[in-house]
């Protein structure tokens, strides 16, 4: 998300807002400036813009929010549809066989490594 961009003619101090509020509001209403950035202690503190612009921004925001919420609820529904009870017995048996193959392979590799290690130790001690 990029930072909000503004120009120096859109920046007003909080004191200016109090003293020249009609001037600032007139500039916004006449579209001379898009927004008024109110500075407090030299830092942006608030933004004032036309009410119609606010309504437009809020409509866009709400439509984006509803689209995002809809997508999230669709994902949740898909996740909820997939459950443990939906796994067929055949798939379950196939998965168990695959696990057994993996564990058998790892055990045989471990046994082979153990034999090689014992052989190396015997060779070392016999020398």
- pLDDT by position in tens, the chain (length 127): 346 677 888 999 999 999 999 999 999 999 999 999 999 998 999 999 999 999 999 999 998 888 877 676 666 666 666 555 566 778 778 888 888 877 766 666 656 666 666 666 566 666 5
CA distances from 80 to 71, 77, 89 (A): 14, 5, 20
Percent of the residues in the chain that have a pLDDT greater than 70, as a whole number: 64
pLDDT tens string 69-104: 767 666 666 666 655 556 677 877 888 888 887 776
Locate the domains of the chain by residue range. Answer: 8-49, 52-82, 84-127
Q: What are phi and psi of 39, to 5 degrees?
A: -100, 140
- Residue 53 tokens read as 């612009």
The tokens of 79 are what? 């996740």
Return the CATH class of domain 8-49: alpha beta
């Amino acid at each position: 998300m990029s930072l909000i961009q503004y120009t120096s003619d859109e920046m007003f101090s909080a004191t200016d807002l109090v003293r020249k509020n009609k001037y600032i509001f007139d500039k916004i209403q006449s579209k001379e400036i898009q927004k008024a950035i109110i500075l407090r202690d030299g830092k942006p503190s608030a933004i004032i813009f036309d009410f119609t612009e606010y309504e437009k921004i809020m409509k866009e925001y709400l439509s984006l929010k509803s689209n995002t919420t809809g997508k999230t609820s669709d994902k949740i529904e898909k996740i909820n549809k997939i459950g443990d009870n939906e796994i067929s017995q055949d798939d379950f048996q196939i998965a168990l066989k695959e696990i057994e193959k993996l564990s058998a392979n790892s055990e045989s590799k471990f046994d082979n490594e153990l034999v090689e290690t014992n052989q190396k130790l015997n060779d070392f001690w016999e020398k």
